[in-house]
Structures are given as C-alpha cells and as structure tokens.
Structure 1
Amino acid sequence: MPRAKTQNQADIVSAPSADLAALPAPVRAIRDKILAALDKNDVEALRIPIDWNEVRPLFAKSGAFKAGTDPVEILKTLSFDGKGRETIEIMRAVLAQPYVRIARGPVTLYEWPAFGRHPTPPANEEEAQARWRCVRFSDLARANAERKLRPTRLGVASDGVWHYFWSED
C-alpha cells in the first residue's frame, strides 16, 4: 500500500484503500465477526467481537465511561435511540467505507472510514450520503456548523485487536 501523508510526527497514514484482500488475516477476521454481529440487528450481538479481544475496545476518546462499565450499555448510551440501533447502522456504514493503514511507531492500525483521515470531496451524491451515514446524530449540528463531516471511526490493529469505535470527540 503506498504511503500518503503524515498525520502527525508519529503517524504515517496510507492512501485510502477498498481492497479487503490486502488486510492482514486477523484484521479481516475481526471485521467479519463485527459484520456478522451487525447482521443480527441487535447491539447485544456485538458482545462476541467485543469479548474476542483480550482488552475491550474504547467507545469514547474522553474516558467518559468508568472502567468496568458494560460495553453494550455504553454503545446503547451513545446511540441516539438509546437502544443501539443507531450504533449498528453507523458501524455498518463505517465498515462499508474504504480504510487507511496507520503506522504509529511499532503499531499498525487499520482505520475506517478513510475519509476521516483523507477529507476529500465525495465523487457524487451517493458517496456523500454514504459518508453522512458514518456520522452520529449527536455530531450532526457541529458537523453542519463546521461544514465538515465528523465521522465515527473504527480502528483495528494488524494483530486483529479491535482498539476503538468512537466519534471524533
């Protein structure tokens, strides 16, 4: 995968890619496990890929949830509907987007959606709508005010450990 720009001094971010075959096998495996859970249309089904990790993925950057809090309850809380349906749809939309490879020191992460790191104009209206589906309802007002998408991001390390699924803030 060709190198693109440097996000900060520690990150080297690749060009966007939609080539799922280029993902390491452990990354493809956790992505498939997440997608299988999403196909059940029940946020509880996400317990399987969440618990597949030795350490739970983070669902908020700010540390807004205390340690030990049930991860499915966090996903429900973050969902506008309070039941996790928004979370399911956003996660599905995020994983349908191209991804980037991020080299951060000795760690390599794969992050969806790529446009979160490479904010380029969408090619057409359909692509624009697909991108907006990656934005939480609670982030829409700020995104509209800033005239910038604020997508929810999902990151998986090259070893298949799901690190995060969080909004930009």
Structure 2
Amino acid sequence: MREQILAAVHAGDVGELTRAIEWNEIKPDFGKDAGSDPVAHWKATSADGQGREVLAVLGNILSLPPARLAIGRDPENTLVYVWPYLAELPLDSLTPAEEVELYRIMPVADARAMIKAKKWTWWRIAIGADGTWHTFRTYR
C-alpha cells in the first residue's frame, strides 16, 4: 500500500491515490471534511489547488520511519504502521534529531504550536500490516 501511495506522489497526480483507495474493502478515514470525494477535498485543501501540496506532505511523512503499533484485530497482522513515527511520541520531549525531522515535514510555527499543546495535529497516515489503508488526515 505504501508503494502504491508513493507511486501517486511520484506521478504528481493526487487522482492516482484513487487506485490505492480502491484496494481497500472499506474506505479509509480521511476526516469528516473529506466527504465522499477525498481527491476533491485534497485539491481544495492544497495551496496549489491541484493536491500537489498534499502529495508533498505524503511523500515527506512516508520518507520517515513509521511507528509500529500492535493494535490490529487480526492476530497474524496485528501491527499498524503510523507515519510519521513522531505522531506517536511525546512532543515535549523530542530529541534534537527528532525535532529536525519534525521541521522537515511541517512548518516550524505549526510544529512549535503542537509541541506547546503537547498534541499531534498535523497529517498522519496509518496502514495495517495486511496492507489496509486505515487513515490519512489531520487531527485538529
């Protein structure tokens, strides 16, 4: 699934994410604002109006290692991978190297606001060990 999503990133076409979405039996959680058309939502959300900013975010967060959470229901595929791993760390105790990674994926002002609030509010993507795309959204 990660590779399918990255293919859309490398193509520069947010519409290509439809292929990855269709691989799922159940539509991933893209947030309440996404409605029934996540591609239109991402285009509207992106500053460029084409969804390329969202693709850039996806590419950036997927370039970092994931957090591995044992929360899946299937005993053989219990792991859920969450990108960026930083979303699962206590934000007020990041190491200097982790802060650098945080600044690589988001504006510094947004990062500082999250650290101050001690709450992850930026984009986050979760994919199950079985390849199920669970979520891609912000947590405001």
TM-score w.r.t. the length of structure 1 is 0.66
User: What is the CA–CA distance in structure 1 between the aligned matches of 2:24 and 2:88, rounded to whole Å?
Assistant: 25
Q: 1:16-35 residue pairs with structure 2 within 5 A?
A: 30-35=1-6
For residues 61-106 of structure 1, what are the alpha-carbon distances to aligned partners after superposition, in whole Å with 9 as ceiling and x for unaligned? xx2343xx22211221222332201100000001001111112263
User: What is the CA–CA distance in structure 1 between the aligned matches of 2:137 and 2:114, rounded to whole Å?
Assistant: 19
More strand by share: 1
Counterpart contact for 1:143–1:150, Cα < 8 Å: no
Question: What is the CA-CA distance between 1:155 and the residue it aligns to?
Answer: 0.1
User: What is the CA–CA distance in structure 2 between the aligned matches of 1:163 and 1:100, rounded to whole Å?
Assistant: 14
Identity among equivalent positions (%) equals 35
User: What is the CA–CA distance in structure 2 between the aligned matches of 1:84 and 1:162, rounded to whole Å?
Assistant: 19
Pairing 1:163–2:134 present: yes
Counterpart contact for 2:67–2:85, Cα < 8 Å: yes
Q: 1:139-158 residue pairs with structure 2 within 5 A?
A: 143-148=111-116, 150-158=121-129
For residues 123-151 of structure 1, what are the alpha-carbon distances to aligned partners after superposition, in whole Å with 9 as ceiling and x for unaligned? 28xx72x423433x7xx755444545643
Counterpart contact for 1:134–1:151, Cα < 8 Å: no
3-state SS, counterpart of residue 88 of structure 1? helix
Residue 102 of structure 1: which of 69, 83, 93 is its match?
69
3-state SS, counterpart of residue 101 of structure 1? strand
Question: What is the CA-CA distance between 1:50 and the residue it aligns to?
Answer: 1.4
Counterpart contact for 2:4–2:20, Cα < 8 Å: yes
For residues 23-70 of structure 1, what are the alpha-carbon distances to aligned partners after superposition, in whole Å with 9 as ceiling and x for unaligned? xxxxxxx1111111111011111111111112222222xx2343xx22
Q: Specify the alignment match of 1:56 in structure 2.
A: 27
Unaligned runs of 5+ in 1: 1-29
3-state SS, counterpart of residue 151 of structure 1? coil
3-state SS, counterpart of residue 123 of structure 1? helix
- Supply the AA of the counterpart residue of 2:33: A
Residue 43 of structure 1: which of 14, 28, 35 is its match?
14
Bigger relative CO (Cα 8 Å, ≥ 6 apart): 1
Cα RMSD of the aligned pairs, angstroms, is: 2.4
3-state SS, counterpart of residue 64 of structure 1? helix
- Supply the AA of the counterpart residue of 1:46: L
3-state SS, counterpart of residue 163 of structure 1? strand
Q: 1:134 to 1:167 in 2, by over 3 A?
A: farther
Aligned length: 130
Q: Specify the alignment match of 1:89 in structure 2.
A: 56
Pairing 1:74–2:41 present: yes
Question: What is the CA-CA distance between 1:154 and the residue it aligns to?
Answer: 0.6
More helix by share: 2
